[in-house]
Structure 1
Amino acid sequence: MTHSLRRPPLVSITILACFAATTHAAEADPRQGLLNGAADPTGVAVTDDDGNTTYYVAATGRGVKLLRSTDLKSWEPYGRVFDRAVPRWARRAIPGTDGIWAPDLSYHDGLYYLYYSVSTFGSQKSVIGLAVNKSLDPESPDYKWDDRGLVVASSPETTNFNAIDPALLVDEDGRWLLYWGSYWTGLKAAEVDPATGKFKEGAEIQAVAARPDAPNRVIEAPYVLFNDGYYYLFVSWDSCCDGADSTYRVAVGRSKDALGPYVDAEGKPMLEGGGTIILESSERWRGPGHNGVLTSPPSEEWPDGKQWMVHHTYDMQNLDAHRILQVRPLTWGEEGWPKVGEPVATP
């Protein structure tokens, strides 16, 4: 069995609007639908001994939603990570929460790692936790999610960052790095101990991107990908969750080192608000963002494999579906910058 790891890790997903049949009609305040749809996707590609590949995705929701697909076009619900909407320890830490945001699913050294965040909208009081599993197949004797609990917390009294939107990278030197952050002073990173999945003793928290001059300093959803000698830091800017009025978009910068400094295509540092826009709203799709990247394994159709950007977006033809999942091909230009194609499936 092989896996598409988090080296371009994330899983691809186009979740059709029909998946949202279980959601309620869009509320007057779209933010009330934060846990509906299938937002903030990440995941893995798993290839069995017969060469068949199945894609698994984790998404925001009560207990963390799981989805699977064999073709990246049609997706089916595949249970949840937690039986409860939120683990007990996280509910005690964050009173008033009713779901889990922005899970990050990847596979390393025989385990599936699922980092997840718990908060309430607009609050800096947040936590990031970690759960691991040996299998994603509920029928397997190895299937059991082990919640390892708190990784990092934030609050107005103790930190200058917000502990949501985690993303794990194992870099080319074998370092395990966790990225996170939303608004406030921007995006952070710290080295992780592979034995625990938590911060190394004495790990330094480093800043990797910020928007100090933007209204409300709107930046979040870090995701780092290595390609042809560079690490690429994908981020999301602006309003994520306002339905047809959402202004979410994806920007990117790159660096020779996974911890930066990252600069955009014009050379502007991402710590100073730099970022090259590669995906933004269109007439039909509003607020695309919180992306990851999935790599399909080599096949007859794609001898070298193929990369896909996965993200959420609002469909102007079905706003009741809230933030749906979408998969787009990801390619690389002559100067090494990523390009995003059209959706592989349209509801």
Structure 2
Amino acid sequence: MRRRRFLAGSVGVAGLSGCVGSPADGFGGESAETYRNPVFGRVFPDPSAVRAADGTFYAYGTEEDGERFRRVPIVESTDLVNWTRVGEAFEEKPDWRDGAYLWAPDAVRMNGRYYLYYSYADWGDENPGIGVATSDDPAGPFTDRGKLFRGDEIGVENSIDPMVFLRDGTPYLFWGSRRGIYAIRLRSDGVETAGEKTHVAGDHYEAAYVVERDGRYYLFVSTGTCCEGTSSTYRVRVGRSDSLLGAYVDAEGNDLREAKGPVVVEGGNGFVGPGHNAVVTDDAGDDWMLYHAYEEGEGYVAETPRRVLMLDRIDWSDGWPTVEGRTPSREAQVPEID
């Protein structure tokens, strides 16, 4: 994802459910049965999430350089509503390139460990790349396993925004930004590619995220401008397929390599530019989107786009996902977590 400045800018505290939050923080709920967005009221762009073996959720965001430098910030929650900082993914930046930033990570639990795939890029980078790190603890620190590939090696410009989907234990990487979305199988150890890449969506998109539901695969993608403060036009669209590697199509059967899929969530209700989502499932089987957005009137922290962490339940209707009203919620029912 290309960003004006993509780094976060302030110390965070957790969102509060069951009490009224500080207006300055922008989180908190009206009752124990509801929560209010944002669920983490500090800058936390490009979130991904994983659920640990003990049921705790961990979210990972783009690198920060605000009041305290964080090489991929990590927050944790037991209920998807109250989030607390637990640290950063890396003690030192990976050494396989210089002068770059850690963008848009994606975490996955496999092979009994936690894998973190990350974009390694600079603003306007002509040859960004994707790396991978591993840890026994989802709170980190992660040990870098090195470069997966750079754009010129894989033949995909702007090779950023990784996401790994496990199909029957086999990892597949989805990635790309504004130069097409691609997918490729990874080796079982997750640190090298295997096979050939497949083109799955067009140049409108970035921030791919795949889920499987009722035998079909759904490709969530973000489109529009991400990083222009409250002038941003970001939104999430979706396509679906009977096959993991596509073709992904819209509701009329048009291929996402050419067409634009239906909107899942777009700006409204006091929020602007929602996008770059992950999907998690609560203990009732409901799916929830974690994503970032701007609050109206609060586009920047100094030079940094102020994108905060949002949560909304996904409604499935006629085989298609959407957020209620296609806009972020201000207040909603809490997820069901045992």
Name the CA shift for 1:130/1:47 in 2 (closer, same or farther; >3 Å).
Answer: closer
Unaligned runs of 5+ residues in structure 2 are 1-13, 26-41, 65-70, 333-338
Map 1:44-55 onto structure 2 (within 5 A).
44-46=50-52, 48=54, 53-55=55-57
Name the CA shift for 1:47/1:150 in 2 (closer, same or farther; >3 Å).
Answer: closer
Shift of 1:46: 2.7
Q: TM-score, normalised by structure 1?
A: 0.76
Shift of 1:61: 1.1
- The whole-number CA distance in structure 2 between the counterparts of 1:150 and 1:118 is 9
- The whole-number CA distance in structure 1 between the counterparts of 2:95 and 2:107 is 21
The Cα offsets for residues 147-180 of structure 1, whole Å up to 9 and x where unpaired, read as 111001014x983422100000012x44321000
Question: Is residue 60–residue 100 contact of structure 1 (8 Å, CA) maintained in 2?
Answer: yes
> SS of the residue aligned with 2:279?
strand
> SS of the residue aligned with 1:244?
helix
Name the CA shift for 1:160/1:58 in 2 (closer, same or farther; >3 Å).
Answer: closer
Structure 2 counterpart of 1:339, one-letter code: T
- What is residue 147 of structure 1 aligned with on the other side? 144
- What is residue 118 of structure 2 aligned with on the other side? 116
Shift of 1:320: 3.8
- What is residue 163 of structure 1 aligned with on the other side? 159
Structure 2 counterpart of 1:150, one-letter code: K
Structure 2 counterpart of 1:37, one-letter code: V
Question: Is residue 59–residue 103 contact of structure 1 (8 Å, CA) maintained in 2?
Answer: yes
Map 1:30-41 onto structure 2 (within 5 A).
37-41=43-47
> SS of the residue aligned with 2:96?
helix
Question: Is residue 312–residue 326 contact of structure 1 (8 Å, CA) maintained in 2?
Answer: yes
Shift of 1:225: 0.5
> SS of the residue aligned with 1:72?
coil
> SS of the residue aligned with 2:257?
helix
- The whole-number CA distance in structure 2 between the counterparts of 1:282 and 1:344 is 10
Structure 2 counterpart of 1:253, one-letter code: G
Question: Is residue 294–residue 308 contact of structure 2 (8 Å, CA) maintained in 1?
Answer: yes
The Cα offsets for residues 102-143 of structure 1, whole Å up to 9 and x where unpaired, read as 0001111311110000112233310100001112256xxxxx
The Cα offsets for residues 194-219 of structure 1, whole Å up to 9 and x where unpaired, read as 1243202xx201100004xxxxxx31
- The whole-number CA distance in structure 1 between the counterparts of 2:276 and 2:142 is 25
Identify, as 1 or 2, the structure richer in strand.
2
Verify: 1:253 aligned to 2:231, yes or no.
Answer: no
Structure 1 counterpart of 2:118, one-letter code: Y
Name the CA shift for 1:344/1:79 in 2 (closer, same or farther; >3 Å).
Answer: farther
Shift of 1:337: 0.5
Question: Is residue 64–residue 81 contact of structure 1 (8 Å, CA) maintained in 2?
Answer: yes
Which of 207, 210, 232 matches 2:202?
A: 210
Shift of 1:276: 1.1
- The whole-number CA distance in structure 2 between the counterparts of 1:128 and 1:147 is 12
Verify: 1:183 aligned to 2:185, yes or no.
Answer: no
- What is residue 79 of structure 2 aligned with on the other side? 71
The Cα offsets for residues 61-113 of structure 1, whole Å up to 9 and x where unpaired, read as 141110011222221111001123x322232xxx3x2x310000111131111
- The whole-number CA distance in structure 2 between the counterparts of 1:338 and 1:121 is 33
Name the CA shift for 1:15/1:120 in 2 (closer, same or farther; >3 Å).
Answer: farther
Q: How many residues in Structure 1 have an aligned counterpart in Structure 2?
A: 286
Unaligned runs of 5+ residues in structure 1 are 1-13, 22-35, 139-143, 212-217
Identify, as 1 or 2, the structure richer in helix.
1
- What is residue 61 of structure 2 aligned with on the other side? 59
- The whole-number CA distance in structure 2 between the counterparts of 1:166 and 1:137 is 19
Shift of 1:344: 7.1
Alpha-carbon RMSD: 2.5
Name the CA shift for 1:260/1:108 in 2 (closer, same or farther; >3 Å).
Answer: same
Shift of 1:58: 0.6
Question: Is residue 248–residue 287 contact of structure 1 (8 Å, CA) maintained in 2?
Answer: yes
Structure 2 counterpart of 1:40, one-letter code: D
Shift of 1:273: 2.6
Structure 1 counterpart of 2:315, one-letter code: T
- What is residue 340 of structure 1 aligned with on the other side? 323
> SS of the residue aligned with 2:124?
coil
> SS of the residue aligned with 1:100?
strand
Question: Is residue 90–residue 127 contact of structure 1 (8 Å, CA) maintained in 2?
Answer: no
Question: Is residue 15–residue 38 contact of structure 1 (8 Å, CA) maintained in 2?
Answer: no
Question: Is residue 62–residue 72 contact of structure 2 (8 Å, CA) maintained in 1?
Answer: yes
> SS of the residue aligned with 1:272?
coil
> SS of the residue aligned with 1:205?
strand
- The whole-number CA distance in structure 2 between the counterparts of 1:39 and 1:15 is 16
Q: What percent identity do the matched residue pairs reach?
A: 38
Name the CA shift for 1:71/1:120 in 2 (closer, same or farther; >3 Å).
Answer: same
Name the CA shift for 1:330/1:231 in 2 (closer, same or farther; >3 Å).
Answer: same
- The whole-number CA distance in structure 2 between the counterparts of 1:234 and 1:158 is 23
Shift of 1:343: 3.5
Name the CA shift for 1:285/1:111 in 2 (closer, same or farther; >3 Å).
Answer: same
Name the CA shift for 1:259/1:204 in 2 (closer, same or farther; >3 Å).
Answer: same
Q: TM-score, normalised by structure 2?
A: 0.78
Shift of 1:345: 5.3
